[in-house]
Structure formats: C-alpha cells, structure tokens
Chains A and B, each alone.
Chain A
Amino acid sequence: MSIPVTFVDRADAAIKNPQLQRTLEAATTKYVGHRASAFARLGAEGERLRDRGKEIRANTLAHLDQYLETLARNVEKNGGVVHWAKDAAEAREIIIRLARERNVKLVAKAKSMVGEEIEINHALEAAGITPVETDLGEYIVQLAHERPSHIIAPIFHKSKEQVAELFSREFGRQVEPDIPTLVKLARATLREKFLQAEMGFSGVNFAIAETGTIAIVTNEGNGRMCTSVPRIHVALMGLEKVVPTWDEFAVLLGLLPRSGTGQQISVYTTMISGPKRTNDPDGPEEFHLVILDNGRTKLLSGELREALQCIRCGACLNICPVYGQIGGHAYGWVYPGPIGSLLTPSYAGLREYADLPHASSLCGACRDVCPVRIDIPRMLVALRTQEVKQGARPFIEDAIFKLTAFVLGNSVLYSLASKFGHFAQLPFARRGRLPSLPLMGRWTQARDFPIVQAKTFHERWKDLNREGHKEREEKK
C-alpha cells in the first residue's frame, strides 16, 4: 500500500482506517490512564518535580556548550572517543567509517529516534553492513519496512495476526498469531544477533556531564545486550540530551518513565561510562559517542528553544486529540505528535511540513502533561507566524486574513460587512440555519453554519437599553 503524499491525505486515510482507530484509542487511553495514576501517586510533589525538571532543562540549554565540553572531556577520560557531527550526513559518515575500519558485518541496534533521524539503517545497508533492530517493536517495524508510529510504542498499530504474517515471511514457515510464541521466537532470533554482532548501536536518553556517562532506559533488556556484548559500542545522541549532574539526572529519571508509560522506573536503566576497564571480564572494548547537531543549535538561538527541553517521553502524543485521530505516520517524519509538529518543520523544513504547525486546535492538553512544561501551543503559533513571514501560505489565504484585519479595525466597515453577510447568505438559509454555503463546503460537509442575524448584537443594544430602562422604572 503506497503512503499518501500530503499530510491531509495521510490524516484522512488514518481516520478512515478502523483498525488503526481501534488501536489508537486503546494505546492512548492506556498510557493517559497510567500516566495519570503515576502522577496521582506523587501528588503535589509531582508538580514540583515537573517544575524542577523544567528548571534543569532550561538551565542546561542556557549553558549547553559548557556542559557538552565537560561531557566530552569525561567520556574521553573514561577511555571513550567523542565524535561531533554537524548534520545527518556527517553522523552517517562517522558511523560507517567506524564500522568499516573494524570489519563490522552486523550491527545490533537498540531503539534510537535520532538513529531514525539520520536514516542510519539505509546507510549501513548501502555499505554492505547489516543492521538489526533488537527492540521487539522496532524489529517488527524493520521487517515491515515501515517507520515506527509512536515514540515509545512503535507498533501499537499492528495486530498480532499482522506480526505473525511478518514472522512467517521472514522465517519461511507458518508462525502462530499467539503473542507468547511471537515473543519467544523474537527472543531466540535476536539473541543470536546480539551474540554475533561486532558492533552495538544505541541512542542516549540522558548524557551525564559530571562523569561522562550515558544513560539508556529500556524494558526489554536489549539496551543492555547491545551495549555489553558486542566489542564496539557506538552511541548517538542529540546534543540537547546532556544533563549536568547525577542529582539532576535523578529528577529527570523520575519524570521520564512516569510520563511515558506510567512506570515509576523502567525495568533497566543502564548507565555507561566508557569501554570496559582493564579488569572487567566483559563489556565492549571500544566506546564511541557521536554528538549530533542537525539543526539543534539553530533552534537554540530562536523562539523554539524550549522545544529542545524535550526528554522524549511521548506524553504529549498520548493526550493530543489530533494525534489520537491520525496516529504517528500521518506526521510524515521521525517525530510525531505535538512535539513532532515543532521538530519536524524545524529539522526537516518549514515549507515541506507547512501543515504541521496548523494541524492543531491549540487546545493546550500537551502543555498540561509535559514533564518539563514545554509550552507547545506558543511555539506552534510562532511557526505559523514564520510561515506567513516567509510567504509560505497560499496567496488567497493571506489576502483573506489581511482583509479581515482591515475590516475588523473599523466599526463602519465591520457593520457594513455584517449587513452584507446577512443579505448574501439569505438565499441559502433554511429554517434559521445554513446547511450549505458557497466557499464554506469544508464546514458544511459535516455541520450547518449559523446565519448572520438580521440584527447583530450591536443593533439589538438599543432595544435592550429600552428594555432595561423599562425594568428599572418598574422596579421603582
């Protein structure tokens, strides 16, 4: 099935897909409920934790270069190697070079959004190196040649029958659509990969500058496998993921799982500080940290700086009523949902993704749940303003807004316009409503439009005043 090209087509296709609608409702309801329970358990402390989280992230961004410098110094002190990549191409080049130089044939990958951002899998395959996704959901996404549809639940849009079909094709035999069977099969297959792979690749949830440590938060254990078994570990991080100290990391660690899945803590939090030490019986011999810019420093100096505070929990996706209707793929790139509507235009082009900042009713539910209190609606409006400034909106739309502004700025024009509106719509009025109206098809396809009243409130005021005088006279 080909993926529709425009956002509106993708969104409409998602809305008309009954299976996706069912799974979207189940997934978002589940995670919204779990998150609410986790924060209810914390009580007022939870709100203070979010305040502290926002403070930590904002402070980090304010001194980002200093903390990145400390991080790099400490990673190297631990025996690791730091690489700086200004964009996706450079990051791919660094990782491929590392793999080639070390004769890597197989890369065991733990889930990484930033890995998707630089499209590392295509690059590895083109270089004759095989990447294997080891997070169960990502593994299935890889088999299906798709993108994940949610930051933390990549395949909630797939049924177990669809997964069984994928496995049957992959393994050349009939696989039962029974979840324990599917999980067991995936475990056995991927275990082989962990043990064979020369390189393990991971993302980074947080990078603690104080000791040059990267933290990876998982539930399945593949994060531990990828970073402990293969002899080379390469970690890729967006430069905004640095955290100054362990105490501050503890706060963010308290916020991330609770916000995303409602867990107090994930099953495994793995904190890696360089390659194995001389006396360690196991662990990777080499540790490489690739620090990626790819548009982040540009955001740092603008109105969307706050978007860099994101800790990738997924809470905004789960609560968003728009995401809840259209799912992750409709957003068209790596980052879906409210935060995706900020990051995608910023990293992948405002003109190319001009719909995303507008595909929101600005309801503010995302801001309500963000663990670090990012004001997403404010920045969506900032992007809309940028679009107008850059002339990225259709001419007719711009003309309508400018005309509206002009009319609203003048009482006479305003009352003339309302008179005109009333008379122009009269032919279409049926029993006090407008079931259809030229140029308003998008509205009237689903709902009636109200009629402009014969007497606007401005005009009714005289009558109301008379009424009011009479009442006051009667009272006396």
Chain B
Amino acid sequence: MRASLFITCLNDLFCTHVGESVVRILRRLDVAIDFPSAQTCCGQPLLNSGYPSDARKLAQRFIEIFESSEYIVTPSGSCALAVKHDYLNLFANDIEWRARAEKIAARTYEFTSFLVNVLGVNDLNATFNARATYHDSCHLNRGLGVHDEPRELLKHVRGLELVEMEHSETCCGFGGSFAIRYPGISTAMLDDKLTWIQNTGAQVLVVGDAGCAMHLAGALARREPKIRVMHVAQILDEGTRV
C-alpha cells in the first residue's frame, strides 16, 4: 500500500515531531510513504477569512501535487476537512476542477481514520503508561464525524488510562484567526477547557489538530507544565519503539 503524507503548514513549521511519528507508524504498518515536497498549505485559513479566490488557487496547487497519490494521509482534521469538503464547494461552478476535487477528497484521510477505517487496524501493540484525556477538535469531530477512531486506537494502548473530560466536544477557542482577533473570548473558552482537562487528573492531553494543540499547549506551558500535549501518532510511536 502506498500513501502520500500531507504534513500541513502548522505541523511542518511547529510540530515536526507529529509528522515524524506519523511516518514511523505508517512504515511500521507497511505503508510505503512518500512526501511530495512542493506542498505548502491547504488554503483553509484563507477561505475562512474571506479570501475564496486565493484559497481556490492553493486548492488547485494541492490537487495538482497530490493527484497521482493512491491515498493522502494528514495528521490534522482541519486540513482533511478542507480537502474533503471545502474544496468541493470552492469548485462548485467548475465541472473539471470539481471532478478532480472529488477524486482527491475520496482519497484523503485524517491519520486515525486512515488507520482504523482503511488499514483496519486498532491495536499496534503499543505500551504507554499514563492517564490521558482526549480533546475532540471541532473540524475532526463535527466536520468529519471522526470521534470513535482516536479513542479506539488509544483504548488498545497498554498502560494508558483514557479518561473522558467533561465537554470534550466543546470548542477550545482556537478557531484560527479568531484567537488573534478576539483574544478575550478565545482565552475565556481556553480557560474553561483547561479546567475540564485539569479535572481529569490526566498527565497527557491528546489532541489531533495542530491549531488546537498550539493553543492548548501554549497555555498549559504556563499553567500546568506537567501535562504533556501529544498527537495520537506520537503516543503510538513512543509506545511501539523498541
């Protein structure tokens, strides 16, 4: 099986460890992984801030880069949603590009969804001793309906005690440029989320989206530096290292 990695701009610049873990895990599962190096960004931040033509150009670039891939795997639910959903709307009035977007959309998967739904894998024989809690990123959960897959993977990790936080599905307050435009509201939402995380007594916060991760990790670094913020891929990777 072959798959191309779409690393996403945030993971590329800030959370490189996530990408590394994704690659190692997929290789361990015998997926031949390649990395089209021309890739940059899916364009969603531009679309959501009101620049659809600019987003469309980036979408076209993305489609051209990844069109020949059998599968496209990405660690970020937001970007997977952009490709699987937003791209179809961006090309609603263009028959040719719409068809190309539909093909790509069908082949694009967020990491946990790829493991569980395409590879049919939920147990990697991983061991990771910690109490962990999982935050449901809005785009991954509500947008793509990926809610059970990360939990399935985490439940099979030996030594990992998964505790559900209250309101795991409530937005953390990142929302892209929202966090910069309305820091007061964003921080108020962040504060609530941190309370719910702290209430679980977890040592590890598992988060999929790089945006949510940056936002939550940035605050935890100041208030609860003992809580480690990790992607599912990182837990599986560290949990299966020899």
Chain A contact residues, CB within 8 Å of chain B: 8, 11-12, 15, 321-322, 325-326, 358-365, 367-368, 381, 384-389, 393, 401-402, 404-405, 408-411, 414, 418, 421, 433, 435, 440, 442-443, 445-453, 455-458, 460-461, 464, 467-468, 471
Among B1-54, those with CB < 8 Å from A are: 7, 9, 11-16, 19-20, 23-24, 27, 33, 35, 37-38, 40-41, 43, 45-52, 54
Looking at the assembled complex, report how far the CB atom of A367 sits from the nearest CB atom of chain B, in whole angstroms: 8
B226 within 8 A of A: no
Q: Which residues of A contact B54 (CB under 8 A)?
A: 401-402, 405
Interface 1/0 per residue, B136-174 and A, CB below 8 Å = 001000110000000000000000000000000111011
Enumerate the 7 nearest inter-chain pairs by beta-carbon distance, A residue then B residue, closest first.
A361-B175, A447-B218, A384-B50, A363-B171, A405-B54, A388-B50, A363-B138
B50–A381 CB distance below 8 A = yes
B215–A457 CB distance below 8 A = no
A364–B49 CB distance below 8 A = no
B201 within 8 A of A: no
Chain B contact residues, CB within 8 Å of chain A: 7, 9, 11-16, 19-20, 23-24, 27, 33, 35, 37-38, 40-41, 43, 45-52, 54, 57-58, 61, 138, 142-143, 169-171, 173-190, 192, 214-215, 217-219, 221-222
Q: Which residues of A contact B217 (CB under 8 A)?
A: 448, 450
Chosen A-B contacts, 17 in total, with CB atoms closer than 8 Å, are A15-B184, A321-B173, A321-B189, A362-B48, A385-B51, A401-B51, A404-B45, A411-B37, A414-B40, A442-B179, A443-B179, A443-B218, A447-B219, A448-B219, A449-B218, A453-B13, A461-B37
Contacts known (A359-B185, A385-B52, A442-B180); A452 close to B14, Cβ less than 8 A: yes
B222–A360 CB distance below 8 A = no
B58–A325 CB distance below 8 A = no
Q: Which residues of B contact A364 (CB under 8 A)?
A: 138, 142-143
Closest A residue by C-beta to B172: A361
Closest A residue by C-beta to B8: A457
B50–A445 CB distance below 8 A = no
Looking at the assembled complex, report how far the CB atom of B227 sits from the nearest CB atom of chain A, in whole angstroms: 13
Q: Whole-angstrom distance between the alpha carbons of A245 and B100 in the complex?
A: 44
A456–B13 CB distance below 8 A = yes
B138–A361 CB distance below 8 A = yes
Q: Whole-angstrom distance between the alpha carbons of A349 and B179 in the complex?
A: 24
Closest B residue by C-beta to A413: B40
Q: Which residues of B contact A418 (CB under 8 A)?
A: 12-13
B184–A12 CB distance below 8 A = yes
B221–A362 CB distance below 8 A = no
Return the contact of A11 from the options B180, B182, B221 (Cβ within 8 A): B182
Looking at the assembled complex, report how far the CB atom of A79 sits from the nearest CB atom of chain B, in whole angstroms: 49
Q: Which residues of B contact A410 (CB under 8 A)?
A: 40
Known: A321-B192, A411-B37, A457-B19. 7 other contacts (CB 8 A): A362-B178, A367-B142, A385-B51, A409-B58, A447-B221, A452-B13, A455-B16
Q: Which residues of B contact A360 (CB under 8 A)?
A: 175, 178
Return the contact of A361 from the options B20, B27, B46, B178 (Cβ within 8 A): B178
Return the contact of A450 from the options B12, B15, B49, B51 (Cβ within 8 A): B15
A363–B142 CB distance below 8 A = yes
Looking at the assembled complex, report how far the CB atom of A14 sits from the nearest CB atom of chain B, in whole angstroms: 9
B57–A405 CB distance below 8 A = yes
Q: Which residues of B contact A460 (CB under 8 A)?
A: 16, 19-20
Q: Whole-angstrom distance between the alpha carbons of A402 and B51 in the complex?
A: 9
Q: Whole-angstrom distance between the alpha carbons of A100 and B238 in the complex?
A: 79
Looking at the assembled complex, report how far the CB atom of B115 sits from the nearest CB atom of chain A, in whole angstroms: 18
Looking at the assembled complex, report how far the CB atom of A158 sits from the nearest CB atom of chain B, in whole angstroms: 21
Q: Whole-angstrom distance between the alpha carbons of A424 and B222 in the complex?
A: 23
Closest A residue by C-beta to B187: A446
Return the contact of A8 from the options B45, B173, B184 (Cβ within 8 A): B184
B46–A421 CB distance below 8 A = no
Contacts known (A358-B178, A411-B38, A450-B15); A11 close to B46, Cβ less than 8 A: no
A388–B19 CB distance below 8 A = no
Most B C-beta atoms less than 10 A away, residue of A321, A387, A433: A321
A468–B27 CB distance below 8 A = yes
A381–B47 CB distance below 8 A = yes
B184–A321 CB distance below 8 A = no
B14–A408 CB distance below 8 A = no
Looking at the assembled complex, report how far the CB atom of A349 sits from the nearest CB atom of chain B, in whole angstroms: 17
Looking at the assembled complex, report how far the CB atom of B118 sits from the nearest CB atom of chain A, in whole angstroms: 20
Return the contact of A15 from the options B185, B218, B219 (Cβ within 8 A): B185
Looking at the assembled complex, report how far the CB atom of B29 sits from the nearest CB atom of chain A, in whole angstroms: 13
Q: Which residues of B contact A458 (CB under 8 A)?
A: 7, 12, 37
B181–A358 CB distance below 8 A = yes
Q: Whole-angstrom distance between the alpha carbons of A310 and B46 in the complex?
A: 28
Looking at the assembled complex, report how far the CB atom of A50 sits from the nearest CB atom of chain B, in whole angstroms: 16
